[in-house]
Amino acid sequence: MTSDRDWTGRVGDIWATEWRRTDRSFERLAPVLNAAIVAAAGPQAGTIVDIGCGAGATSLASAQALPDGQVIGIDLSPKLIAVANHRAGSLGNVAFRCADVASAVGMHAPVDLYVSRHGVMFFADPVAAFAQLDEAAAPGAALVFSCFAERAANRWAVETVAGADDASGPTGAMTAPGPLPLPIRPMSRRC
Ligand SMILES: C[S@@+](CC[C@H](N)C(=O)[O-])C[C@H]1O[C@@H](n2cnc3c(N)ncnc32)[C@H](O)[C@@H]1O
């Protein structure tokens, strides 16, 4: 389980230190996701919100690929937002906010396109959070995201748990927020 408190604190701080490693680990996924984002954006890309933007890789790629769009990356972690702002430099059509995306997104309504690289799996109450995202969406808005497939499809996760001293693993928390909480099947391709 990874809670809001983890992301605003220690876990977010570690991700902020390790953002280059994160981007390397996603280097095969990112071009696929970024191409899907460009394909989903209309001719006038409008307002694009990156859910759980982390250190900003997807926001920055979207802003560069869609110069007519205005990208807002939102993340709980102040340190990740600081890294994202630093990486943005003088790029004019991207902004970053440190906030809970579900609470903050209304300020950016209507949202034409939601994007996310592995940032949609951590809501304590996913139904309530997605309802708020839906409320802020423009008519016909799209959501393009990547996330892990279910635990059984991820050998690294299964074998890590099997190899841990505490062989009981995280089975008790299978419905808690986290990278592999539920048997989710991505709509396009597996990562
Ligand atoms: C697995 S990381 C992915 C980060 C980034 N999208 C990337 O690809 O590098 C998940 C991110 O979601 C953020 N997050 C989790 N719950 C959130 C929420 N309710 N509102 C905003 N950000 C959230 C975390 O702080 C974290 O940076």
Specify whether domain 4-149+158-173 bears CATH 3.40.50.150.
yes
Which of the listed residues 75, 127, 145 should we mutate to test ligand 1's pocket, taking the one with most ligand atoms within 8 A of CB? 75
Atom of ligand 1 nearest to the CA of 2: 15
Reading the chain (191 residues) residue by residue, the pLDDT tens digits are 688 889 999 999 999 999 999 999 999 999 999 999 999 998 889 999 999 999 999 999 999 999 999 999 999 999 999 999 999 999 999 999 999 999 999 999 999 999 999 999 999 999 999 999 999 999 999 999 999 888 788 887 778 777 765 544 445 445 666 777 555 445 454 43
Residues 6+ apart with CB under 8 A from 23: 30, 55, 57
Domain ranges of the chain: 4-149+158-173
For residue 54, report the distance from its CA to the centre of ligand 1, in Å. Answer: 5
Q: Is the pTM of this model over 0.85?
A: yes
